[in-house]
């Protein structure tokens, strides 16, 4: 389309388009949680299979994000972004029309495939549109605000839709949003040539890591029924470990690896990605457990449960807004460690909620503390994971940080739902708190004390040649 828009205006309107697409992705991570009891009743889900409505999405999303990120580098950012949005919107339509548990789970997996294409492409477009430093951090602050608050806003929207027009609309809502994003994409997003010099995909690496992660999550999910020490569980975990080792070997020998290990030589990138996995495990699992707690223990309606999450989303928005500026001034280490420490305290407070908890006295303070930590940690992780990465690897780095968070989230939901069923909600949230604490400790070790967000871009080509 040939519409004349001033370049500066176009950049920030384009950011709004990117954030809208990301909002859909984050929305569908969380929006189903508040509708799970209604979905279970209407489609006759068993208690064990219900969590796959969450995990199927997180698993394909996380498992394919590295491939989606590299696709943005090889095929072009805007093309990959638009393809992902189209798949996501069509999958959402299928999910809204689902007539059985298997159809809904398949549609959720397809949604994850679309999200795995559009999310790293969107973040990569953001990265190449805004210069590294204060300007990019401001844009990432908006991105982080969507990520930190989108989940809780999704719970609110999900509660309202489930209680009024029905749970199917939590998926159908994505169709008009996706269509609007597709129309605006060629108008507001610049088309750039592919950034990667090597026009090849590492299919062997993609298949081995996806299979490894899928088996890992399935083993954890089915362990309560099969037994943690059973032949099935032990075998699946062993095969998963073998496939991960195969992936590492493939990546070292591939001409165009899906995940060049040279990226991890940047301490803040390594620290951000490992912490992102642990953060995802804590937060995704917390969303799943607390939503069930609010409805099944405290007797909240879907709308009441959604409104309850405002206590987390408002502090998360405020912390995200200030977090980007803070990282620009002092570097990512202190904000990241502080954010994850606050999350740890918030989850510990949530673990102590009684069976007769009162919202204002018990639930609200614990969610508010958690929200402050979530907002600060999320935006810092987004900035740190892209710091010092050159444009040819921007899609890959974007896919990597999303992959670690989504896979961590899938495992977190599986582990915390298992603990909640066997030991109770309180113990499950203690495990979530331990995940957040581990993320903070790793960041404290891996990220240098003064590694500001305006560091000189590293020459990754030279590093690759040296490797």
- The CATH number for 284's domain is 1.20.1250.20
Q: What is the pLDDT of residues 163-190, one digit of tens each?
A: 788 888 889 988 998 899 898 888 877 7
How many other β-carbons are positioned within 10 Å of the β-carbon of residue 46? 9
pLDDT-derived band at 391, boundaries 50, 70, 90? low
With a cut of 70, say whether residue 445 has pLDDT above it.
yes
Within-domain flag for 412: yes
Q: Answer for the pair 346, 290: CB distance below 8 angstroms, yes or no.
A: no
Query: Is the confidence at residue 454, as pLDDT, over 70?
Result: no
Cα distances from 410 to residues 172, 174, 286, 320, 382, in angstroms, run: 23, 22, 12, 24, 19
128 inside domain: yes
The number of folded domains in the chain is 2
275 and 216 part of one domain? no
Residue 29 has pLDDT above 90, yes or no: no
| Residue of 179, 187, 165, 191 lying closest to 20 (CA atoms) | 179
356 and 405 share one domain: yes
Task: Indicate the average pLDDT of the chain.
Answer: 80
247 in the same domain as 147? no
Residues 173 and 207 in one domain: no
Same structural domain, 163 and 86: yes
pTM score:
0.76
- One domain, residues 342 and 310: yes
Do 264 and 136 share a structural domain?
Answer: yes
Whether the predicted pLDDT of 156 surpasses 80: no
- The reported pLDDT for the residue numbered 393 is 62
Both 291 and 246 in one domain: the answer is no
> What is the residue range of 332's domain?
7-187+258-460
Structure tokens that stand for 446 in this block: 């891996």
Confidence of residue 404 (pLDDT cuts 50, 70, 90): confident
Q: Assign 4 a pLDDT band (cuts: 50, 70, 90).
A: low
What is the mean pLDDT of the segment spanning 377-399?
71
Distance CA 452, CA 326 (A): 10
- Does residue 389 lie in a domain region? yes
Whether residue 340 is found in the same domain as residue 383: yes
CA gap 108, 174 in Å, rounded: 13
């Amino acid at each position: 389309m040939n519409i004349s828009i001033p370049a500066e205006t176009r950049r920030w309107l384009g950011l709004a388009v990117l954030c809208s697409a990301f909002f859909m992705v984050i929305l569908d991570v969380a929006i189903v949680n508040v509708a799970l009891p209604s979905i279970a009743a209407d489609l006759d889900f068993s208690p064990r299979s219900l969590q796959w409505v969450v995990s199927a999405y997180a698993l394909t999303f996380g498992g394919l994000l590295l491939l989606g990120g590299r696709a943005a580098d090889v095929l072009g950012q805007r093309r990959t972004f638009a393809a992902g949005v189209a798949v996501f919107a069509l999958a959402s339509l299928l999910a809204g029309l689902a007539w059985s548990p298997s159809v809904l789970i398949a549609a959720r997996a397809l949604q994850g495939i679309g999200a795995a294409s559009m999310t790293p492409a969107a973040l990569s477009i953001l990265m190449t549109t805004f210069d590294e430093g204060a300007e990019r951090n401001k844009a990432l602050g908006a991105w982080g605000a969507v990520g930190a608050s989108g989940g809780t806003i999704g719970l609110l929207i999900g509660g309202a839709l489930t209680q009024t027009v029905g749970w199917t609309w939590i998926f159908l809502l994505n169709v008009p949003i996706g269509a609007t994003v597709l129309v605006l994409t060629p108008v507001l997003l610049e088309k750039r040539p592919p950034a990667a010099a090597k026009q090849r995909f590492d299919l062997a690496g993609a298949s081995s890591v996806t299979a490894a992660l899928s088996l890992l999550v399935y083993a954890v999910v089915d362990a309560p029924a099969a037994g943690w020490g059973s032949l099935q569980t032990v075998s699946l975990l062993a095969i998963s470990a073998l496939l991960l080792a195969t992936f590492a070997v493939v990546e070292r020998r591939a001409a165009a690896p899906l995940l060049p290990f040279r990226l991890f030589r940047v301490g803040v990138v390594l620290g951000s990605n490992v912490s992102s996995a642990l953060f995802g495990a804590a937060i995704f699992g917390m969303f799943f457990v607390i939503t069930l707690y609010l409805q099944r223990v405290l007797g909240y309606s879907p709308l009441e449960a959604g409104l309850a999450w405002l206590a987390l989303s408002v502090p998360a928005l405020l912390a995200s807004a200030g977090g980007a500026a803070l990282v620009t001034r002092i570097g990512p280490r202190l904000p990241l460690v502080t954010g994850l420490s606050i999350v740890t305290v918030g989850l510990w407070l949530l673990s102590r909620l009684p069976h007769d908890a009162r919202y204002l006295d018990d639930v609200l303070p614990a969610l508010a503390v958690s929200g402050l930590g979530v907002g600060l940690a999320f935006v810092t992780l987004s900035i740190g994971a892209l710091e010092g990465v050159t444009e040819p690897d921007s899609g890959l780095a974007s896919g990597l940080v999303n992959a670690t968070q989504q896979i961590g989230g899938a495992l977190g939901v599986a582990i915390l739902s298992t603990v909640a069923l066997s030991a109770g909600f309180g113990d499950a949230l203690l495990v979530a708190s331990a995940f957040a604490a581990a993320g903070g400790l790793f960041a404290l070790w891996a990220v240098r004390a003064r590694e500001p967000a305006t560091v000189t871009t590293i020459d990754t080509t030279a590093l690759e040649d040296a490797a």
